[in-house]
Amino acid sequence: MKRVFTSKNEKEEIEIIEKKYKLFELYHDEFLFRSYYAYSILKRMRLLKEVALKAQFEGLKNYLKISDEQEILFSSFITREYIYFVMPFLNTIFILQDRIMILIGEFLNINDKFDKLPKYYYDYKKKKNKIISLFPKPLQTLLINYWENHGKFIRQYRNLDQHQYQLYYHSFYKLKPNEEYVIYLPDEINRNMALHEIKYKNKIVALDFFEKEFKAFHDFVEEMLEKIKIQPSEIQPGSSFRPLEHLKNYKNGDIISTMIIGNETIVFRINNENDPDSEAKHLTIQKVPNKVSSFNWKFR
């Protein structure tokens, strides 16, 4: 059944609402995916550190003739795998900081022309920045507090690693007071500071810092949702059954997507009797001989 519009304005208004809903849905799915991605990175870094790297160093320690060293610059193929996660984590949190404000803005129906991180955060002290004033006062306070105490440090380390100085240069196996593999982060970062000005006196352990900052971001999001009366709930990342491209590219009866879950698959296709551009589609669940249903990340 086709929708009947009583006026041109009504049609335009509905099209705007549908466009905003699709945009919100797109950002929402991306936010969940990147959130779980950041969480997964931290879990894998912790596993590499406490299982693989610890076991590797324990096996080598007797051959290294260690005396009274506090820490040793340490490198192996496992440390490289560990270091590969540093930049993806910083980039992901950097993006999440931006996306949550866009999501909140869409939810509150805040219309603006700004969609870049500076307008929400580190540019807030400038009078020309008008976007923060569009949000309710409680959200403004939460945003500024989060940025000053947490967010700006993520940005500083991310920009340093991406544009100026690789963070993996301070990669050690620490021996005292306890043994552990560490990457140290610089104490303080200023814009365009020279490399010789970067100091490591505070011994900021990267993984500990990342885990603390991820929790801080999580709490920041939870507090904002509470302020706008959204009840907390456990949300799992999903997968889209519908492609971004127009469905006219598909013929009647074509499979649009499938999701494998254990020994079952959910198949989403256009019905034989349906117009490819209609909203009515056919969803079935069927048994499949899936031989790959899990994997273990093992170290040898």
- Give the percent of the chain with pLDDT over 90: 26
Examine the pLDDT at 150 and tell me if it is beyond 90: yes
CA dihedral 56, 213, 237, 144 (to 10 degrees): -170
- Identify whether the C-beta of residue 239 lies closer than 8 Å to the C-beta of residue 259: yes
Average pLDDT over residues 277-289: 74
pLDDT at 1: 42
CA distances from 12 to 4, 8, 46, 161, 214 (A): 13, 6, 51, 46, 41
Average pLDDT over residues 71-84: 89
Tell me the per-residue pLDDT of 91-119, one tens digit each, with 9 for 90 and over: 999 999 988 888 888 888 876 555 454 45
Q: Helices (DSSP H) in the chain: which residue ranges?
A: 8-47, 54-64, 77-83, 86-107, 117-120, 137-146, 152-163, 206-227
Tell me the per-residue pLDDT of 36-76, one tens digit each, with 9 for 90 and over: 999 999 999 999 999 999 999 998 888 888 888 899 988 88
The DSSP 8-state label assigned to residue 122 in this structure reads T
pLDDT at 99: 87
Determine whether 227 is exposed, middle or buried from the number of CB atoms within 10 Å of its CB (0-12, 13-18, 19+).
Answer: middle
pLDDT at 123: 56
- Give the percent of the chain with pLDDT over 70: 72
SS3 of residue 180 by DSSP: strand
pLDDT at 194: 76
Tell me the per-residue pLDDT of 195-214, one tens digit each, with 9 for 90 and over: 788 888 999 999 999 999 99
- Identify whether the C-beta of residue 234 lies closer than 8 Å to the C-beta of residue 253: no
Tell me the per-residue pLDDT of 11-29, one tens digit each, with 9 for 90 and over: 666 665 566 666 667 778 8
Residue in 100, 31, 29, 49 with CA at minimum distance from that of residue 210: 49
Residue in 121, 113, 41, 117 with CA at minimum distance from that of residue 82: 41
pLDDT higher at 281 or 61 = 61
Residue in 253, 244, 243, 300 with CA at minimum distance from that of residue 276: 253
SS3 of residue 198 by DSSP: coil
Cα 56 to Cα 296: distance, rounded to the nearest angstrom: 19
pLDDT at 6: 57
pTM of this prediction exceeds 0.85: no
Cα 237 to Cα 77: distance, rounded to the nearest angstrom: 32
